[in-house]
Amino acid sequence: MAIVSTAGLGYPRIGENREWKKLLEEFWGGKREEQSFQKEMRELRIRRLLRQKKSGVAWVPSGDFTLYDSVLDHIAAFDLIPSRFRHLGTPDSLAVYFAMARGIEGAPACEMTKWFDTNYHYLVPELADQPNPKLVFNPWLDAFTEAKREAGLLTRPVLIGPYTLVRLAKGVPSSAFADVVRSFIPAYNSVLEQLVKAGAGWVQLDEPSLVTDVPQEHLALLKEVYGALKSSNPKLLIQLQTYFGAVEHPEAVFSLPVDAIGLDFVRGKDDNLNAIRKYGWPIGKKLGAGVVDGRSIWRVDPDQALGLLEELATQLPADQLIVQPSCSLLHSPVTVAVETSGDDIVRGSLSFADQKLEEVVALSEALEARLNGGVGELSPRLEENRAALAALRNHPARHRAAAQGSSEESVKGRAPFAERHALQLERFNLPLLPTTTIGSLPQTADIRKARLDWRRGKLSDDAYRQLLQERTELWIRRQEEIGIDVLVHGEFERTDMVEHFAHLLDGYHFTTNGWVQSYGSRCVKPPVIYGDVMDRGAMTLEDTLYAQSLTDRPVKGMLTGPITMLAWSFYRNDISRKEIADQIARALDAEVLRLEAAGIGMIQVDEPALREIAPLKRREWPEYLQWSVSSFRRSVAGVRDETQIHTHMCYCDYHEIIDAVEAMDADVISLETSRSHGSLIHALEHQPYANGIGLGVYDIHSPVVPETETMLAVIRDSLAVVPADRLWVNPDCGLKTRGEPETLAALKRMTEAAVLARAELVTA
């Protein structure tokens, strides 16, 4: 009888009710002592282990829980702590740990960027001046023993593999890459040896970098590294786990000296399957078949998944198969059990982390039944999936896009930037180095409570609108007093830059509790694109016109761009991303033209996600960048040349997509640079940006308010690569999550820095 195994690869850490977020913020705010904080976090870890145990999966992961970020855990445990934090305490102290994550006075936080093509952010290891890594404490051992003691589970510890950890780091020249990776072998061996002594039978080493562009010369290094780990720990079974796409160099990866390899059969389905057909599967090696999508919120299609598993069972013995999600369920909400909102058909089609583990188990049981002569009927659990997905396919909202016209219609171009720039200089008459913010201003507890009360019917429309207008007027006056040149209305009505607009468009579903972690304690509740997205009327016009009525200074209209609306939503999987983005762009363009017709002269269409969802393999970039840039341009199609179009991007490797950003042809782009300023300045030295640009002068994700001189230094650096008549001064991102006192202080210093920089230009 075939025995098909099952595994989880990782699980949401935030808790069913975001308990994790609340504990962190209470601790940071001084409302909870460290002992109480650690106790409550321990109880949360145990609860999540028991939820996974209940699902019935054979292998439950441990070590995937973290107090902030898993990469940061490796930085601390392997003594890779930057020197600016070492005076704060020992490597395992919370003072050091959270200072690296959030920064302190005189020590800026570690750089933060997106985890591959997801909306999760990780802390970037700094390896330029580090000694050889060494294990100074072992959080994976602690997690393993805790799970065994408290939950009765023999878990499979999860670490980020050494190859990926170094690929994600900064400060490693290509000439030293192999030696740096080798330097991690003793530290990893120390972790694995201690796990073996504690009774671990398996360990999972995540190597998602193997689905990116892997240089040919790295293949021998991978074989050497994993050979060293395996030879030093012969009793330990190692699963090398890949995800987010198909592996590069599959023949070489399949032959690595490990006991199992996990492959993504959702995003990398065709290429991974074709590689197994072509090269065969190594005898005696298990295959982790990732057939349940760890990044979507839809139920698994049982017919597609079982068909794939049955084919895999012809390529290797069934007892070598492990049915599992395609990646960690970190990217999924916890459970649909509390979902009560929205369209019944859509809600019935949802599957979150708990349900995905149930699907893994149900698929393994169905496969095993078929392989042992079963008649092929689906279990009630999978029949439910089949019926729910059929209803979703037939939903009327999925069959109305034809009314919008062809997505291949060309977008009318604008005049060259130089001509537009001259018209806009005359229209707005701004000083050199104009100051502005990215859009959102602090949302205090009273605003959040009022919005919740309004949604629950406890606050009338008129009372809510009056509160929003009062707060808008307060901040218009504050911006004027500080001396900001281009104002924003503050976005006090918006829960989230994507969710807000999703509520104003057709084609979206909203979950009750579908929260996922974005970075640190920041959780988002992505809307769900289930149908064709269409415009249904004015979205921002009233708020923007009210703010503009309060001041003679320009007020920007604020929209979220089509690529970001796509990327930061859970989207349908029956049509292409390009088609979805085009639908969104058409709806946004209708609003842009409304704002322009009403006299709003500056309109910002933010695209912070454009780089983050670029394919992980560079050969696939041209096609993606072509349609993503086209979608952005479609979202502002038809505006007059004197209307100034702004956009914003953050936490991306801007220098990698300079050509595409230029092709977007926004009049002004603002960029996050505070944590990666040097690399962007270097990029602009080699390939200047031709239009207006604002290089963020301070990091809004840190509670530290920089000195005026610090921001002035950023402006000076920026002036070395951007002409003064095209440089803007702004924070690096929106200010929604910051407190009012620190925001006012930071913006005042920012404008002071701009005034000083203008004076230096006059006297130069």
Question: Which residues make up each annotated binding site for L-homocysteine?
Answer: 438-440, 491, 606
Buried b (16+ CB within 10 A) or exposed e, 223-251: eebbebbbebbeebbbbbbbbbbbbbbbe
Q: Tell me how far apart the alpha carbons of residues 171 and 183 are, in angstroms, rounded to a whole number.
A: 15
The full DSSP string for 225-290 is HHHHHHHH-TTSEEEEE--SSPPSSHHHHHTSS-SEEEEESSTTHHHHHHHHHHH---TT-EEEEE
Question: Which residues make up each annotated binding site?
Answer: 18-21, 114, 438-440, 491, 522-523, 568, 606, 612, 648, 650, 672, 733
Q: Tell me how far apart the alpha carbons of residues 583 and 276 are, in angstroms, rounded to a whole number.
A: 37
- Is 701 among the residues known to form the active site? yes
Coil, helix or strand at residue 312: helix
- Tell me, letter by letter, the H, E, C secondary structure of 47-116: HHHHHHHHHCCCECEECCCCCCCHHHHHHHHCCCCCHHHHHHCCCCCHHHHHHHHHCECCECCCCEEECC
Closest alpha carbon to 482 in 533, 428, 536, 551: 551
| 49 close to 13: Cβ distance less than 8 angstroms | no
Retrieve residue 609's tokens. Answer: 């996600």
Coil, helix or strand at residue 474: helix
Q: Tell me how far apart the alpha carbons of residues 162 and 624 are, in angstroms, rounded to a whole number.
A: 30
- Left (φ > 0), alpha (ψ -120 to 50) or beta: where does 241 sit? beta
Burial of 29 by CB count in 10 Å (0-12 exposed, 13-18 middle, 19+ buried)? exposed
Q: Tell me how far apart the alpha carbons of residues 227 and 520 are, in angstroms, rounded to a whole number.
A: 35
Q: Tell me how far apart the alpha carbons of residues 244 and 262 are, in angstroms, rounded to a whole number.
A: 11
Closest alpha carbon to 199 in 157, 260, 241, 230: 157
Question: Which residues make up each annotated binding site for Zn(2+)?
Answer: 648, 650, 672, 733
Q: Tell me how far apart the alpha carbons of residues 223 and 550 are, in angstroms, rounded to a whole number.
A: 66
| 7 close to 57: Cβ distance less than 8 angstroms | yes
| 472 close to 489: Cβ distance less than 8 angstroms | yes
Helices (H), 636-724: 658-664, 677-686, 708-719
Retrieve residue 638's tokens. Answer: 């038809």
| 731 close to 482: Cβ distance less than 8 angstroms | no
Choose, from 74, 421, 509, 701, the residue flagged as catalytic. 701
- Tell me, letter by letter, the H, E, C secondary structure of 136-170: CCCHHHHHHHHHHHHHCCCCEEEEECHHHHHHCCE
Closest alpha carbon to 525 in 510, 508, 537: 510
| 608 close to 564: Cβ distance less than 8 angstroms | yes
Buried b (16+ CB within 10 A) or exposed e, 669-700: bbbbbbbbbeebbebbeeeebebbbbbbbbbb
Question: Which residues make up each annotated binding site for 5-methyltetrahydropteroyltri-L-glutamate?
Answer: 18-21, 114, 522-523, 568, 612
| 691 close to 668: Cβ distance less than 8 angstroms | yes
Q: Tell me how far apart the alpha carbons of residues 578 and 401 are, in angstroms, rounded to a whole number.
A: 13
Coil, helix or strand at residue 33: coil
| 61 close to 158: Cβ distance less than 8 angstroms | yes
Question: Which residues make up each annotated binding site for L-methionine?
Answer: 438-440, 491, 606
| 592 close to 636: Cβ distance less than 8 angstroms | yes
Q: Tell me how far apart the alpha carbons of residues 499 and 525 are, in angstroms, rounded to a whole number.
A: 8
The full DSSP string for 321-337 is EEEEESS-GGGS-S-ST
Q: Which residues are catalytic?
A: 701
